[in-house]
Amino acid sequence: MPYIDPKAYYAAYDAAKQTHLDSLLAKINFDALTDVASKARDGILCRIPALDHGLKQAVSTQMGGQNCHLDLEFDDGVTWIVRLRLCDPLLPPQPVQDHIFLSEVATLEFLTETAVPSPKVYLYQLESPENLVGSSFVLMEKIPGAALQWNDASSEQRTKVMQQLVDIFLELEKHPLKQTGSLIPADVRDKVGGFAQAPLFETPEKTLGPFTKLETAYKAMITGQMNAISNKEITSLPVDNYLAFCWRLSALSLLTSSEANEGPFYLKHYDDKGDHILVDDDYNITGIIDWEFASAEAKDLAFSSPCMMWPVGDYYDGLNNLSEEETEFAHMFEIRGRKDISEIILNGRRWQRFLFFLGGGVEEDESTFESLFQGLRKSFAVDGEQSVSSYEDWKVEAINQYSKEDHVLQRLLREERAKNRKE
C-alpha cells in the first residue's frame, strides 16, 4: 500500500470541505431562513449570530463530513439549530439524498415518542423551487453538551457513559419494528421503508427494502454487491471480494436463525463511534444525534456493542477478542437481569463482522482484506479459531467450490490471470 502523508491527506480533505461549504453558503437565502424559522414560532423574530461574527468560521465549528449547522437565536432567548447538507459533487443523486434526508427526519420524529434523548424536529423542507431557503434544511432543537471523545475519556467517565447507554438500549427495545429497513415519513407511525444508505440503492429512485425477513434482506445486499463487482462498479480486489460474498451467502443460514429471521427489528445508529453522543462536563448524556443512515436491524446487531468500544487494531488484525469496555458493558446488562442482551454483546463479533462492508465500501488493501475476512471466518468457526485454514488455502478451495457454475467468477478469474501476466 503506498504511503500517504497524513498531514497532506487531512489538508486536502479540509480544503475540499471548505470548498463544499463555500458552495452551500453561496446558495442559502438567510433572510428566507430566519423568516421561515420565525413563522414556525408564531412570529417570534430570530437571527443568525454567525452572520455577525464570521459565518464560515462559525459554521466550521459545527460541521461534519456531509452536513453543517447554524444556530438560530430567537428574541425570547430560545436557540434552535438548522441542519444543512454540504454541496459535494461526490454526493449521490438528488433522489437518493432526499430519501436519506427524509429518513433522518422520520427517525428523529420516531425518537420523540421514546425516552431516548434526541433533537426535536420543528420544521423541514426538501430543496425545491418552492423552498426559498435554497437548500434542504431541518430546524431542530439545540441540545446542550459536547460530542463525546471516547478515546480521551477516563475509565470512570466511560463507565458512567456506558451505564446510561444501558438505559438507552433498554428504551429502544421497548419500540420494536416489524420490518428491516429505514424509517420514512408516513401517515402510519413507525413506517419502515427502503434502506436510507446510498450503497443500497438499485437506482436513484429505488433502494432495497423494506423486508420482513432478515435472510431476504441480506441476500439482496450481498447479491447487489456481487452485481456491482461484476459490472465493475466495484473494482477493489474483485476476485477476493466476490469470493467473500459467495462465502457470506453460504454462511447466511448460520446467522439468521428462525428467531432472528422474522424480527422484531430495532432502531440502530449507523455511526456509533462516540461523537454521536453529547455529554455535559460531568459526562451525563444530554443527547444522541446524527441519526442519518439509521436502520431497523436484528436484535443481535442492534444491541451489540457500539464500535467506539471495539479494540480497533485487534479488529483489523482479524482478532475477535473483546475490549475491557465491551466486557464491562455486557456485565452491566447481566446485573440488570438482562443476560440475553449481555450474551448479544459477548457474542456480537459474528454479526458485526458479517455486516462489515456489507452494503458499503469494500476493502482495497489486500493484507487488510485478508485479516478482516479471516476474522469473519473465525467468528463462525464451530471447533475454535485454530481450525480455520489460512486465507491462501481457503481461496484455493473457494475457487474450486464456487467457480464450477458461477460464470461471473469464471470471468473475474480470467481477467485476474490476464492482469497478472501483463504485470
> How does DSSP assign 265-281, residue by residue?
EEEE-S--SSTTEEE-T
What one-character DSSP code corresponds to residue 180?
B
Residue 308 carries which side chain, given as an amino acid letter?
A: M
Whole-number pLDDT of residue 59: 57
What is the spatial distance between Cα 194 and Cα 295, in angstroms, rounded to a whole number? 9
Q: How far apart are CA 286 and CA 420, in angstroms?
A: 55
What is the rounded CA–CA span in Å between residue 82 and residue 134? 13
**CB-based burial of residue 206 (10 Å sphere; 0-12 exposed, 13-18 middle, 19+ buried)?**
exposed
* Amino acid at residue number 125: Q
Look up residue 175 and give its amino acid.
H
Q: Distance between CA 141 and CA 150 in Å, rounded?
A: 24
Where in the chain are all domains bearing CATH 3.90.1200? Answer: 150-422
Count Cβ atoms within 10 A of the Cβ of residue 91 and give its class: 0-12 exposed, 13-18 middle, 19 or more buried: middle
Residue 180, strand partner residues: 211
Question: Read out DSSP for 193-231?
Answer: ES---GGGEEETTEE---BSSHHHHHHHHHHHHHHHHHT
Please tell me the predicted confidence (pLDDT) of residue 130: 94
CATH classification number, 150-422, choose in 3.30.565, 3.90.1200, 3.40.1350, 3.30.43:
3.90.1200
For domain 6-146, which architecture applies? 2-Layer Sandwich (3.30)
Give the separation between CA 3 and CA 6, rounded to whole angstroms: 9
* pLDDT for position 142: 96
Q: What is the pLDDT of residue 258?
A: 76
Q: What are phi and psi of 147, to 5 degrees?
A: -60, 130
Q: What is the pLDDT of residue 185?
A: 94
Q: Where in the chain is the domain with CATH 3.30.200.20?
A: 6-146
- Specify the pLDDT at position 6: 37
pLDDT in 10s for each residue of the chain, 423 residues: 233 333 343 343 344 455 656 677 778 999 999 999 999 999 999 999 988 876 655 555 555 557 888 999 999 999 999 999 876 666 789 899 999 999 999 999 999 999 999 999 999 999 999 999 999 999 999 999 999 999 999 999 999 999 999 999 999 999 999 999 999 999 888 899 999 998 899 999 999 999 999 999 999 999 999 999 999 999 999 999 999 999 999 999 999 987 889 999 999 999 999 999 999 999 999 999 999 999 999 999 999 999 999 999 999 999 999 999 999 999 999 999 999 999 999 999 999 999 998 866 678 899 999 999 999 999 999 887 778 999 999 999 999 999 999 999 999 999 999 988 887
What residues have CB less than 8 Å from 54, skipping those under 6 apart?
none
